Amino acid sequence: MSNPTKEPASKQFTSTEATSSSHVYPNTEKRVVSDVYFGQTIDDPYRWLEDDTSEETAEWVDKQNAVTFDYLDTIPYRDELRARIAHAQDYKKSSQPFVRGEYTYYYKNDGLQNHSVLYRVKEGKGQAEEVFLDPNTFSEDGTTSLGSVSFSKDHSLVAYTISEGGSDWRKIFVINSETKEQLEPEIVDAKFTDVSWLGSKGFYYSSYDKPDGSQLSARTDQHKLYYHELGTSQDKDKVIFGNAEGEQHRYVTGYTTDDDDYLIILGQESTSGNRLFYIDLTSASTLEEAQPFETLIDHVDSDTYVIDNQGDTFILYTNLDAPNGKVASFNTRTKQWQDIISEKPQPLEISTGGGYLFAHYMVDVVSKIQQFDYQGQLIRDIQLPGEGTASGLRGKKEHKQLYYTFTNYVTPPTILSFDVDAGESNVYQKSEAPFDADLYESKQVFYTSKDGTKVPVIISYRKGISLDGSNPTILYGYGGFNVSLTPSFSGTVASWLELGGVFAVPNLRGGGEYGKDWHKGGTQQQKQNVFDDFIAAAEFLIEQGYTSSETLAIRGGSNGGLLVGACMTQRPDLFKVALPAVGVLDMLRYHTFTSGEGWAYDFGTSAQSQDMFEYLLGYSPVHNVESVSYPATLVTTADHDDRVVPAHSYKFISELQDKHQGESPVMIRIDVNAGHGAGMPLNKVIDLTADMYAFTLFNMGIQQL
């Protein structure tokens, strides 16, 4: 075994022909349940695996894991890979600092801690840092993670959330910020929530009524906004929004303005578009006497939210009649709208700090930032260290020193401080990642998709590689929900590059990289565009000599898991390895689990119309597995995933194991006591990454590193 701390050679794979072998999978019984959609009968033989509370399902999970881990144990360099990946993560990592009261707070991980620790330092020279919250102490096995941390307006109190076992359900704890003493029993069963304080008297949070049946998979539909007054029990919490007619929404968010004058309420039916309401809190001595909410946006045709206020004037982001986004003001007294920052050709994100607006634009997926005053006057273009992703530049109005992070695929993150008045950036903290960026390059090129659309892809690799089609390559994608894949450094990706691999990320339609039209171009009955873009990226990499069908793996998670599942069933000949993670794979039934119906803006549903049903049936991975040879496949999921329930993955692998005609393994790796991915302890991340890389390389014929 080679030393994982040694700098890898530029070419270090030893390949032979992969040995064919038979794989014996657990018998998955077919119990056909049939559904009728618009007169067409669809069989669902593995419906029983949807019951995540049954002993039968648990036994099936154990048997599948036994087969998978027995196979992974045979890969001779699996332990070496884990050591390499752990080494790539073993360095001090810190977040951008933020100031609350007399303290500066920041998250820090000393290296291989499962979770980053929240520290603070008091103002003044020589003050020692102290641990404020350490999620590594929340559970013995590291499966309980820290979520959001919210300070009261006077900074004397803190409400923080935790997730247990990776679940989206949260508990909320309230502590004294000085003594860190817990002040009252925790709030339980909160979900998809922020915590927003009203002064220091209480706070707003969101949740659903507890569902009937499984808490992990049963449908959750009606979201509600609650107010919790400190010193009272949770059963006394008042429903502020979500009970009355006209208030029903799948997702509800509430937050107060910094001056506590207004409560802002967003109501969403899906993951795109929201109604916008507000409550004037200034004319009431108690919450019960507050004025009823007023409607600012009465439809879900835009994403619109309040980012700040100046007295009775709201400052808002909106993409209403501006697909790429703009900043506008709305006066609550005169009801007048006015543009502040007009729409530009590039998609906009906005942040505030130091009394300024910071417009973050994506120009061909690369960050550009401009600073404006609140009247929309351009102050300056902010000079960034290079081409990549800059994030941050947010803070309170009184904070004149802000922070941002700059990174790309081969540049470990650097934190910079920014003087909002002078416009000067200075390095605040450099990364300590054990990665020599000078040995690698990352370049963006454009390729042509099936319908002629130009799509960007960023390809990262070690300098000097041969374009002879022999390079093990991971093609990673997402393509949905207006999510933009901007270049950022990852220790796990760095490990792949150090091994001599190529890592390529195309910016597919369905994402937000080119604004709302780019997003819409990959939704509902245009979803095939996303798959075509991904397939075209694979063909481009092969044509250019980066890789071949014998050395190409595809990877994606969640909506990206759907992407991998659809592409491997449509073009099984094109890829050597497929790695669908926590994927949405049963497109006829996804909307019947947890809050899945909220994804209908992107996917449509099988109940929507006959045309939509037929379109979904045409690409749904579970329903399009045939008796052909598929790539070596490692499906990954977790038994506590209550976002994309693991039944998607269970049913998909059952179909593959039943019908796959080739010799390549088709297996599933199921993490126990883990969820959709957020808050996963680092040791589990390292284990999962090592297993994916080992499976990938071994099935490309790599016998030793």
The torsion angle over the Cα atoms of residues 515, 678, 366 and 561, rounded to 10 degrees, is: -60
Tell me the backbone φ, ψ of residue 649, rounded to 5 degrees. Answer: -70, -40
Which one, of 2, 19, 6, 112, lies nearest residue 699 by Cα?
19
Bridge partners of 224, per DSSP, are: 207
Q: How far apart are CA 342 and CA 357, in angstroms?
A: 13
How far apart (Å, rounded) are the C-alpha atoms in residues 432 and 93? Answer: 7
Residue 192 DSSP code = S
DSSP state of 511: B
Where is 60: in which H helix or E strand?
A: helix 55-73
Considering only CA atoms, which of 611, 614, 612 is closest in space to residue 602? 612
- Active-site position among 115, 249, 640, 676: 676
- 152 is annotated as an active-site residue: no
User: Looking at 558, 595, 649, 664, which residue is catalytic?
Assistant: 558
Q: Would the CA dihedral through 488, 492, 498, 501 be positive or negative?
A: negative
**β strands within 375-410, DSSP E:** 378-382, 389-392, 401-408
558 included as an active-site residue: yes
Residues in CB range of 418: below 8 A, 6 or more apart: 382, 393, 401, 402, 403, 404, 424, 425
**The two three-digit tokens of residue 539, written as one number:** 């063909």
Q: Which residues pair with 295 in a beta bridge?
A: 277
Distance between the two ends of the chain, CA-based, in angstroms?
A: 9
Q: How far apart are CA 587 and CA 648, in angstroms?
A: 9
**Residues whose CB falls within 8 Å of the CB of residue 609, separated by 6 or more in sequence, listed in order:** none
Give me the active site residues, please. 558, 676
